[in-house]
Structure 1
Amino acid sequence: MKDNLNEALKYTQKIRNSNSNIRDDIVSDIYKNAEEITNKCVKKDTKKILEQQRLDDIITSKAFGGPLMILILAITLWLTITGANFPSECIAKFLFYIEGKLTLFFKYINCPKWIHGLLILGVYRTLAWVISVMFPPMAIFFPIFTFLEDLGYLPRVCFNMDYIFKKAHAHGKQVLTMCMGLGCNAAGIISCRIIDSPREKLIAILTNNFIPCNGRFPTLIALSSIFVGIHFYNNSLFASLIVTLMIIIGVILTLLTSYVLSKTLLKGFPSSFTLELPPYRKPQIGRILFTSLIDRTIFVLGRAIAVAAPAGVLIYMLTNIYIGNLNIATHIVNFVNPFAKAIGLDGFILIAFILGFPANEIVIPILIMLYLSTGTMMEFENIHQLKALLLNNGWTALTFINTMLFCLLHFPCATTLWTIKKETGSIKWTILSVLIPTITGITICFINTKIFNILT
């Protein structure tokens, strides 16, 4: 026993003197021993293993790994955008048809007009927008995401990005939390539990909002379709490319912010972790449907509905209670307009984002409502009408770019913020999760406005 201990101490000293990574050497030795035991006990299909290794040589290579990730992301977004249009339209028509019937019922029972406005034009219409806009993209995106997860591709994404995240002093598993954030930032925050290091878990939580969620996609997609896609034959393709570019910008800012946090508030070095790439598997359709639709889509939609309902009441009150000749919302717009102009937006856009705090998917409906001064959220028949409305209200190329950037970089929604508070148990980190993306967004929009004004 004593001899074995001395031998182990000598071996440890030898590793230290050679300046090698002790942990990597120990893990390597464990895997070597495990492989020897496995070879004695388990029969392997050598041909299948070699085929998977050849596939990994391409998917995890420096030359093809990155471009392949971007291509798969663009295809996923294109399928989501294209596939969600028709069901979203059908759900909206059905829900607004129900709204008409509810309105007739309220008239039949001689309900006071303000109660009808509060409950139907406020709460119900807000929920109708959230469900019709949010459910179809999630019902497409989450199954595709779960399919890639079940297939065994997502760990390869983590492997490809691990080196870059280590350079940013963050954890490689943060890639997976970012991927989950594409569906919903609240779900992305919860998935940060897979990171063992408390410091790196906090970094992942604080930076997850840089990845656009399913609630922000409608705004990004609509603006892309209006100002880019509408000039081309296949606008969904170009819209998906612009949204992909926005996501890439979000990833870059995630890396930069992670590095800054690791050098300031959350000092430390990236912890090592051993990532064993699982074999490629045949996806289980039943599991994919249950996990994506019940476990993720319905769960996230339920949270969004819970926070959007009271928001409908607030929005209706702000746009229907008048002080003098103007409603409260317009007074607020006039107050924030100078600041909004300084960052390349206008007061209406800024207030739409603020009122959209409970659920990001209602930002565009609120903006339409404010521009038309109707006091209730409106629906346009086609994208050309929306473009005309925006241009008539002074939108320029700068407004389009900065609104896209601010949509990407503004504060988290109420659901995500609530989740951050629950996961961190801290008001401090919850406030920081609001300040970090918002200050970043304001700064970038301000710089972009200054550059644009100089060039023009």
Structure 2
Amino acid sequence: MAVSEPARSGAAEEPATAEIALLGQPNVGKSTVFNTLTGLRQHIGNWPGKTVGRKEGWIELEGRQQRLVDLPGTYSLTAGSEEERIVRDYLQHQQPEVVVFLADAVALERSLYLLSEVLALHKRVVVGLNRMDVARRHGIHVDPQALAQALGLPVVTLIARDATGITELLASVEALRREPQRCQPSPPQVRARSAAALERIAERIRPAAPAPYDPRWLAQKLLEGDPQVRDWAEEWLSPAEWEALDHELHHHEEAVLDILGARCDWVQSVVQAAVERPRAGQASWTDRLDRVATHSVGGPALLLALLAGVLGLTFQIALPLQGWLDATVVQPAAAGVEALLAPAPGWLSGLVVDGLITGVGTVLTFLPILAIFFTLMGLLEDSGYLARVALLLDRFMHAVGLHGKSALPLTLGLGCNVVSVVGTRIIESRRERLLTILLAPLVPCSARLAVLAVLAPIFFGDWALPVTLGLIGLNLAVLGGLGLLLHRTAFRGESSAFLMELPLYQRPHLRTTMYHVYAHLKEFVRKAGTVIVVAAAAIWALSAFPGPGIENSALAQLGHGLAPLGDLMGLDWRLIAALLSSFVAKEVAISTLGILYGLGEEAQGLAATLPSVVDPASGLAFLAVTMLFIPCMATVAAIRQETGGWRWPAVSVALLLGVSVLSGIAVYQGALLLGLGGGA
């Protein structure tokens, strides 16, 4: 098996003859299988004219490079979402040579229902039965030979996280390409009561149906009430033909029950032939754990305890490593380069040493914080617990008038607000989607948490953990309060019900977790090497020119111009400048502080400098405003992309600017009343 991508140019390149498609439901392990087969680790584009991501890579079959396309995860092929339309249009028009269908051994019924729809469009299918290890641990036994016989398809057992079965999966794909007759599926048919109606409708539409659409499949979808197929039929047929067809469809409205019922009967017969489950009444580990994890009182308490544990471990382990990196890497590098550039003009030395090395180096020193945080969060996600977090947040979402699905993209915001904004695509209601987008930047993303993890110990020492938890609580309180206010004013409406299937708990897999950690750190370093480098250089230039001295710089003038507002929050012009720079990326605030407070100091890091110039009340206000401040540049761009204009990004920036400033004033004035001021 080869994992390299073929050359893009050159006469020697032999093009692939056809594509292999990778298909399955969300969270069934498709990305893991795709990454193992191809070595690619990222989305490389969007489907034409769509906002849904498209991934493709290359595998070697029988000595030839073949394109592997990772289709969007979907639960069905009824055109109710963009993902569903993309998958079925691809299967009909592209006609991949083989479809690799990933099924979940733990929830086989759900996977088989999707497979029943796939077999109506494509016959050459290899089934990869994933998560066999998890099924065994929960007493679920799936007989792959019996399953293959019942389906009429090749079946390969997989444990994708360990790459177990991947070689066998490729061999089965190769064998099916050589011998297509290995696939003899018998997909479900409509129940007898509606069979005649199905055939009549197929005959009505057959003369007008263009290739590659099968008239019988179109007839079935018309009886199901598929909106896209109805639009097609109305376009293809004459008005009189469509009127007659529509009349017959109304006459057979009950046929949808016969179609869906036949699929369920087929699924049940396959499961009875191949699956043995634990006796009824046996409580699994998942059941026992969920009695606490999803309890109305125990669930939130467990969530808070785990969050405190994650942050506590991050502080205890990562902070010493951060100090070591600063002392052994950043400061020696700055001193060495400064000596090397001694003959050069002062502005060049200042740009490289104080702007780039000090600014970017300060940011890179909290790589240990991010590594530990992402590792702990990745373990929780891989165990299945974060799905319970979404369920717990669903109750909170309904309290502020949001659809339960809003809990899922908002939970993703713990990693990145950009992902949270893009994730709102799963929400059907435009009202609820816009409201979720406006609230998404209030979720404390990893970048904000990283800034908090760096500065809270500097400002508050041993009190860093309770202060951090309090500020995260402030974020959630503001999110809830603002959501409730918007729901009752600008976004009036009813929220709909939320249904989700909780995955079984499983032992976290270190390899999977480490991949996620690597992906997050790689993205962070990429930003440090591009956005943060440019921002650090720009901030240094603003702090150095026109001069002389930083007090006469352009940045000082901007900060001094906002000083009256800053005074209400206890923020001097340097802290205001750091807040403004965080629009580029939240991490840039750290490099800005390193530049502004590091100028003129002798090898003093932020930990030594900030406590002497910023009192606790001001530090607390700065952190509160940071956690609530306007979205970063990338999030604003994502909001524009998802809403189709600049109106809602402008609303988001204005809304959060007002919320953060008011909160900063309240926090600072409250801290003064508690006697936290006057430290500097």
Smaller-chain TM-score bracket: 0.7 to 0.9
Query: Deviation of residue 83 (structure 1)?
Result: 2.3
Alpha-carbon RMSD? 3.3
% same residue: 24
Tell me how far apart the structure 2 counterparts of residues 130 and 254 of structure 1 sit (CA, whole Å). Answer: 28
Deviation at 1:329, TM superposition (A): 2.4
Tell me if 1:97 matches 2:332. Answer: yes
Change in 2 beyond 3 A, CA 1:268/1:37 = farther
- Describe the shift of the 1:75–1:192 C-alpha distance in structure 2 as closer, same or farther (beyond 3 A): farther
Rounded Cα–Cα distance in structure 2 between residues aligned with 1:438 and 1:292: 32
Is the CA contact (8 Å cut-off) linking 2:598 and 2:606 kept in structure 1? Answer: no
1:258 aligns with 2:258: no
| Cα pair 2:620 2:668 within 8 Å, conserved | no
Q: How far did residue 243 of structure 1 move?
A: 1.0
Would the alpha carbon gap of residues 118 and 159 (structure 1) be closer, same or farther in structure 2, given more than 3 Å must change?
same
Q: Distance in 1 between matches of 2:579 and 2:396?
A: 32
Corresponding position of 1:420 = 639
Higher strand share: 2
Q: Which residue of 2 aligns with 1:19?
A: none
- 2:391–2:407: 8 Å Cα contact kept in structure 1? no
**Which range moves more in the overlay, 95-104 or 353-362?**
95-104
Map 1:344-383 onto structure 2 (within 5 A). 344-367=570-593, 369-371=595-597, 374=600, 380-381=604-605, 383=607
1:331 maps to 557
Ranges in structure 1 where 5+ consecutive residues have no aligned partner = 3-25
Q: Of residues 660, 664, 669 in structure 2, which corresponds to 1:445?
A: 664
What does 1:51-70 correspond to in 2, within 5 Å? 51-70=285-304
Aligned to 1:407: 626
- What amino acid sits opposite 1:74 in the alignment? A
- Counting only pairs closer than 5 Å after superposition, residues 214-233 of structure 1 correspond to structure 2 as 214-228=446-460, 230=461
Bigger relative contact order (CA 8 A; separation at least 6) = 1
Structure-2 residue corresponding to 1:7: none
Partner of 2:309: 75
Q: Does the C-alpha gap of structure 1 residues 82 and 448 become closer, same or farther in structure 2, counting only changes over 3 Å?
A: closer
Residue 340 (structure 1) aligns with: 566
Q: Which runs of 5+ in 2 are unaligned?
A: 1-192, 195-256, 676-680
Equivalent of 2:345, from 112, 125, 130? 112
Deviation at residue 38 of structure 1 after TM alignment: 8.3
**Alignment match, 2:648:** 429
Of 227, 235, 244, the match for 2:469: 244
Kindly name which structure, 1 or 2, has the bigger radius of gyration based on alpha carbons.
2
Find the counterpart in structure 2 of residue 11 from structure 1: none
> In 2 relative to 1, CA 184–266 (structure 1 residues): closer, same or farther, beyond 3 Å?
same
Distance 2:319 2:670 in 1: 36
Match of 1:10 in 2: none
What is the TM-score of this pair, normalised by structure 2? 0.54
Query: Shift of residue 239 of structure 1?
Result: 1.6
Equivalent residues of 2:536, 2:588 under 8 A apart: no
- Matched-pair contact (CA < 8 Å) for 2:431–2:491: yes
SS across alignment from 1:272: coil
Structure 1 residue corresponding to 2:395, chosen from 163, 184, 188: 163
What residue is the counterpart of 1:123 in the other structure?
A: 356
SS of the aligned residue for 1:279 comes to coil
Contact 1:130/1:359 (8 A) holds in 2: no
In structure 2, how many angstroms separate the alpha carbons of the residues matched to 1:205 and 1:287?
A: 29
**CA–CA distance in structure 2, aligned partners of residues 89 and 83 of structure 1:** 11
Question: How many residues align structurally?
Answer: 412
CA contact (8 A) 2:390 2:411 kept: no
- 2:605 and 2:527 map into 1 onto residues whose CA distance is 28
The alpha-carbon deviation at position 300 of structure 1 amounts to: 3.9
Distance 1:379 1:356 in 2: 24
Distance in structure 1 (CA, Å) of the matches to 2:590 and 2:419: 23
Task: Report the residue type matching 1:337 in the other structure.
Answer: A
The structure carrying a bigger helix percent of its residues is 1
- Which residue of 179, 183, 188 corresponds with 2:420? 188
TM (normalized to structure 1)?
0.79
**Within the alignment, does 1:322 sit opposite 2:546 as a pair?**
yes
Indicate how the Cα distance of structure 1 residues 245 and 453 shifts in structure 2: closer, same or farther if over 3 A, else same.
closer
Q: Which residue identity lines up with residue 117 of structure 1 in the other structure? A: G
